[in-house]
Amino acid sequence: METEPVVTPAQTDPSHDTAWETALAQLDEVAELMGLAPGVHAILRSPKRSLSVSVPFRMDDGSTRVYQGYRVHHNVTRGPAKGGIRYHPEVGLDEVKALAMWMTWKCAIAGIPFGGAKGGVAVDPKELTRSELERMTRRYASEILPFIGPEKDIPAPDMNTNEEIMSWIMDTYSMNSGFSVPGVVTGKPVSIGGSKGRAGATSRGVMYMIFSTLKALGVGIDEVSVAIQGYGKVGGYAAQLLHDAGCRVVAVSDAEGGLYRDRGLDPEAINRHSREAGTVAGYGGAEPITNADLLEIDCDVLVPAAIEGVVTVKNADKVKARVVCEAANGPITFEGDKILHDRGVFVVPDILANSGGVTVSYFEWVQDIQAYFWDEEEVNDRLRLIMERAFDEVYDLAMAKGLSMRQAAHWIGVGRVAEAHLTRGLFP
C-alpha cells in the first residue's frame, strides 16, 4: 500500500543567489565597457523562458517521493538551447538561470551555433537506488518534454549525471516520438549515437587552455605545479592528462578532503585508492589537506573544478597561484575576481576554460544529425583547434583593450549574441 508522499523541496542557500548575481554583474560590467544598446542589454539580463516542475516518482518500497526540477533557456537567438542537467540537493532556479546565461556566452565564444540552457533536480542521487534514479530521471524528462528536442534544446550530463542518465532521457523522448531521436541529448553512450572523445572533452579542453596560457606567459609545461580542487569527472581526468603531459600535480581534493605532495602525485595510484575508498581522502602517499587549504597552496596553476563560489573576498588575497583556470562554472565570485585581477593573477574564465564539453557535444549533435561519425583523433583535433582559436581571440582582445581575460571573453560572447539579436530584429 502506498504511503504518504515525501516532498523534498530545493534547499535554500545564499550561494545560488550569488551565482545569479555574479552572472548579472559580469554582464552589466561588460555591457557598460562595450556600450551595449540598452534594449539588447535588457533582453540579455532575463532568461527567455524558465520552467519549474514537480518530479513525483515511485520508490522501491512503493512510496511516492516528490522533488523539484528546473529547465531554463537563457537565449536561443544563435541556435537551439544547449546545457547540462545536474542532480544536487541544492539545485535552485537562480543557480540554473546563472548557469544557462554562462552557457550562452560559452557557446558564442567557441563559435558554436547554440544558445544557453541548464536544468536540474534538487536531489541527492546517492540516496536513490539505480531503479529509483531511472524512474525519477524518466519522470523529469517527461515533465520537460515540451522544452527539449534536437532543434529546440539538447541536454547533456553535468554534476552527478552521466551517459546512462542521458540514455534514459533519450529513450523517454524517443518513446514519446515513436522513433529513435539520438540528437535530443549529448554525452550519451557511443552505442546509441554518442561521440568518441566526449567523456573527457571538458578535461581535455581545460588542458588545452592551460597550455595556451603557459605559451602566452612564456612558461614551459614541465616547469609548472598544478593544484586541482574537485577530483571528479572533470578534475580527475584533467589531473591524469596534465600529469601525462609533464606537469607536476601537487594537490587534489574532493568533497571528503584532499592531498598534497610537493614532489607531485601519481593520478593512477590516487584513482585506484579513490575507486576502493570512494574518495581521495585517506591516500597514504601524501599529506592530508582541506578543500580550503588547497585553494591557498603555493603552486603555479590552480584549477577549481568543483562548485560555484569557492574563491571569494574572504580568500582571494590568499591564492598563491600565478594562473587560475576555471574548470567549474562560477568558482570565483565577482568581487573575488576583482581581487585576483588587481593582484596580477591570470584567470582563464569558465566560459572559455571549460567549453570543451559543449564543443564536443556540438560535434556529437552534428554526427547524430548526419548519421556519420568521426574517430576520436579527429574529435580531439577539432576540439583543440576551436579552443586554441577561442583563447587567442580572447587573449588578443584583452591585450589590445587592457581588459581582464574574463572581461574580454564576455565582450566577445555578449557581442556575438547581441549582433545576432540586432541582425534578426525584434518580433513582432
Q: What is the pLDDT of residues 327-367, one digit of tens each?
A: 999 999 999 999 999 999 999 999 999 999 999 999 999 99
Q: Which residues pair with 226 in a beta bridge?
A: 249, 301
Q: Residue 284 has what pLDDT? A: 86
Bridge-based pairing of strands 64-75 and 6-8 is parallel
- Which one from 82, 118, 188, 233 is the annotated catalytic residue? 118
The reply to whether 118 belongs to the active site is yes
CATH architecture of the domain with residue range 201-353: 3-Layer(aba) Sandwich (3.40)
Q: What is the mean pLDDT of residues 384-391?
A: 97
C-beta of residue 100 within 8 angstroms of C-beta of residue 47 = yes
Same fold? 48-192, 201-353: yes
> What topology is assigned to 48-192 in CATH?
Rossmann fold (3.40.50)
Q: What is the mean pLDDT of residues 384-408?
A: 97
What is the secondary structure of 162-228 as a DSSP string? -HHHHHHHHHHHHHHHTS--GGG-SS--GGGTPPTT-TTHHHHHHHHHHHHHHHHHT--GGG-EEEE
Interval 217-235: pLDDT, tens? 999 998 899 999 999 889 9
Q: Residue 8 has what pLDDT? A: 36
The model's pTM is 0.92
Q: What is the mean pLDDT of residues 194-207?
A: 95
Q: What is the mean pLDDT of residues 395-416?
A: 97
Q: Which sequence spans correspond to the domains of the chain?
A: 48-192, 201-353
pLDDT above 70 coverage of the chain, percent: 96
Task: Name the grid cell of 183.
Answer: 540528437
Rounded CA separation 14/118 (Å): 19
